[in-house]
Structure 1
Amino acid sequence: MEVSAVSHRIIADLLEARTGQQLTESRKWRIGTALSGVFRQRGITNIDQLVCLLADPASGDLAQQVVEALLNNETYFFRDRIMFELLSRRVLPELAEKRAGTKRLSIWSAGCSTGQEALSLAMLFADQPSQWKDWTIDIVGTDISQNAINTAQRSTYTQFEIQRGLSVSQMLAHFTETKKGWEPSRQLRNMVRFKVRNILEPAAALQRFDIVLCRNVLLYFDEARRAKALECIANSMRPDSWLMLGAGETAIGSTTIFRAAENNQGLYVMSDEAAHEIYAGRTARQSAAR
């Protein structure tokens, strides 16, 4: 579908204003395909007509529909499985020692899409019952897309979705086939919760996470927003927590808050200076609030 330069710019500006994500020239080809459902529902025939309708104050929730359609919600269970193996082999054993006194772990799946990443994390714990007995595991999945979060909260997956990334043994161990689709066990559901959140906005709650997964999210931001997102993430972490980015992403060059974990591609920890500054700032704010 041909998209005029002006219409492309208007659609791109709408997406960036609502989410911070950029719709670059290299992603321009997605517009027609991504918006095909909106076109059918609204009886729209082309992008220029859509742009005219967006300018009408009576267009209602059309702008939000367009934004939701343009967001990339591609995900599947244990996506880039080697990264989950790294968590299981390196990160979780270390945190098990550090948090042995409280037996609590909080994990944030930022940009969780329809929930498969958060449930994959829950399976890491469910598959090691003796290791995590009596632990409280809290996995929070967030996404800017309300549609994606609605799907994640339902946690009902099609045969195609359940087979993407899961072995037959994992399917049978952790999911039950129902008339609606494949649903996760109560054990997994009890570890996971989902909510809408823009990663560029500071967290309203004071929850501090031990691990943050923010994979394939930063690549849609410009340099300034990438730095802001990493700052918001750091402010939601404990000083000795871990950050995992996607295979094609890096925190190096965007911020001095994080440094790469040695010999572990994709894993980052806070620099000593940043950890001290963030901790000092929290202490000061807590004292002022008393």
Structure 2
Amino acid sequence: MKPTQTDIDAVCDLVNELCGIYLDNSKDYLIEGRLSKLVTKAGCANYADFARKVRLDARLKTEVVDAITTNETLWFRDSTPFDALRFKILPELIDAKSGSLFPKKFRIWSAACSTGQEAYSIAMAFADVVPDFEKWDLQIYGTDISPAAVAAAQRGVYNDMEVNRGLDQRYRGAYFVKSAGGWAVNDVLKRRCRFEVRNLLKPFTNVGSFDVIFCRNVAIYFTPPDRKSLFLRLGQTLNRGGWLFTGSGESLMDLGPSWAPKQHCRAVCYQPNGCNGVATLQRSGN
């Protein structure tokens, strides 16, 4: 069925309420393409009725979030942030932590991890820098608003098409094992990655602090106030001297002088709580 203006307004409000994604009237094609089957399955006469029903049904809420969110991803997506991680960010952080209480402890947040490729790519990039990384306390925290995407990340099993999207064969040989479902991430990487469902527009309760955060290509769907709030709150979870990677089209210059972009290995990144020397890292223990 074709959504009316009333339908579009109702679904736009619902989607913004559930996951913070801002849709306007031009997105009627997306609403119809992503939700029409759910509307029919729910036995609703129109999209407005469906929106009302979703608010009363936790299962339908999950199905709407899974349907409306974009889970486009691949291994080492865009490549340059991972080059910056290998050749600039991690070596400097390792040096800065060398005299601290926890020199081998690193926490990294993949804040829109989709089906897990980004988080596992971060772990492999870390292993490129630290050959004996199994002896390090590396904690990679992957979150996404889509329960289906998080479940896929937790499984860590990818079919032939998925595993070939950006993954060099040397990584496949070192960190994957052939399984009935395709290629499974091995325990070496899996032990270092934890995944859970999280809405980035909600308070960051019990997340702790991080040395590096990847939050790429998600805030482009938010309203300007929500986008600003998100990145300011992410900055508060960064350790002093920590780094934030955003998507290539997400500039944060409007957040203030401490958010001036820095470019390394052709990747744009931010160090809003920058520091000179080791002293501030020593206080953290993270």
Give the TM-score band, short-chain normalised. 0.7 to 0.9
Amino acid at match of 1:268: Y
Match of 1:231 in 2: 232
Name whichever of 233-242 and 246-255 sits farther off: 246-255
Match of 1:99 in 2: 97
Match of 2:271 in 1: 269
**Distance of aligned partners of 1:43 and 1:52 in 2 relative to their CA distance in 1, 3 Å threshold:** closer
RMSD between aligned alpha carbons? 2.7
Task: Give the whole-Å Cα distance in 2 for the aligned partners of 1:38 and 1:138.
Answer: 37
| Aligned residues of 1:234 and 1:257 also touching (Cα < 8 A) | no
For each residue in 1:233-285, what CA deviation from the matched residue of structure 2 results, as whole angstroms up to 9, or x when unmatched? 01211121000000111111145552212565420011569xxxxx9xxx9xx
Name whichever of 167-176 and 138-147 sits farther off: 167-176
Amino acid at match of 2:96: K
1:29-178 equivalent positions in 2, closer than 5 A: 29-39=29-39, 41-42=41-42, 49-56=46-53, 60=57, 61-101=59-99, 102-130=103-131, 132=133, 134-178=135-179
Name whichever of 120-129 and 251-260 sits farther off: 251-260
| Aligned residues of 1:126 and 1:187 also touching (Cα < 8 A) | no
- C-alpha displacement of 1:4: 1.7
Aligned residues: 274
Q: Aligned with 1:248: secondary structure?
A: coil
| Aligned residues of 2:8 and 2:47 also touching (Cα < 8 A) | no
Name whichever of 50-59 and 201-210 sits farther off: 50-59
Where relative contact order (Cα < 8 A, 6+ residues apart) is larger, the structure is 2
Q: Aligned with 1:195: secondary structure?
A: strand
Task: Give the whole-Å Cα distance in 2 for the aligned partners of 1:76 and 1:220.
Answer: 20
**Distance of aligned partners of 1:90 and 1:127 in 2 relative to their CA distance in 1, 3 Å threshold:** closer
| Percentage identity across paired residues of the two chains | 32
- C-alpha displacement of 1:16: 0.6
Name whichever of 176-185 and 254-263 sits farther off: 254-263
Task: Give the whole-Å Cα distance in 1 for the aligned partners of 2:273 and 2:181.
Answer: 47
Q: Which runs of 5+ in 2 are unaligned?
A: none
Match of 1:24 in 2: 24
Q: Which runs of 5+ in 1 are unaligned?
A: 274-278, 284-290
- C-alpha displacement of 1:72: 1.1
**Structure 1 length as normaliser, TM-score?**
0.85
